[in-house]
């Protein structure tokens, strides 16, 4: 344990990462309320709007969720009429519907608000650096 730590939790990556995740998740839930979607569904929709026709496997990998979780996400978005499955041979591809594409404006607005909110609390320079560092850690751990 580092000498700068007062408690075990302060120096535990698991604890601090999960604590940060809960804080950011609360901010994201607030920002995404206007879309009618949870932040995870909003990010999935943005991915599909920007890159229509991705497979469920590719979506699972990009969002770092299990295949069963992605199936559940897609099933819910189908019920909401925001996406559709298209079978191409043995591969199932996911496309946004016209109604789903209309969400882009609200999702972009939510992401902008979320960014403003956490930059206000953390400071923009620190927030950007922290995001870059977390992304780098995720990339390393993914290998």
Q: Domains plus CATH for the chain?
A: 28-142 (1.10.10.10)
Note the pTM of the prediction, 2 decimals: 0.89
Structure confidence by residue, pLDDT tens digits, 3-20: 677 787 778 889 999 999
Q: How many CB atoms lie within 10 A of CB 53?
A: 13
- Distance, in Å, from the CA atom of 71 to the CA atom of 79, rounded to the nearest integer, reads 12
> Strand, coil or helix: what is 51?
coil
Residues contacting 10, CB < 8 A, separation 6+: 16
- Distance, in Å, from the CA atom of 131 to the CA atom of 96, rounded to the nearest integer, reads 28
Structure confidence by residue, pLDDT tens digits, 86-124: 998 988 999 999 999 999 999 999 999 999 999 999 999
């Amino acid at each position: 344990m580092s000498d700068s730590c007062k408690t075990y939790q302060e120096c535990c990556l698991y604890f601090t990462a999960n604590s940060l995740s809960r804080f950011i998740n609360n901010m994201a839930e607030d920002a995404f309320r206007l879309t009618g979607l949870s932040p995870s569904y909003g990010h999935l929709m943005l991915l599909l709007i920007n890159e229509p026709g991705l497979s469920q496997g590719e979506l699972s990998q990009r969002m770092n969720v299990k295949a069963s979780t992605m199936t559940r996400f897609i099933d819910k978005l189908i019920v909401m009429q925001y996406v559709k499955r298209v079978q191409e041979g043995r591969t199932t591809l996911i496309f946004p519907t016209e109604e789903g594409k209309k969400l882009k404006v609200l999702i972009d607005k939510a992401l902008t608000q979320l960014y403003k909110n956490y930059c206000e609390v953390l400071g923009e320079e620190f927030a950007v650096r922290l995001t870059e560092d977390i992304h780098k850690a995720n990339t390393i751990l993914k290998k």
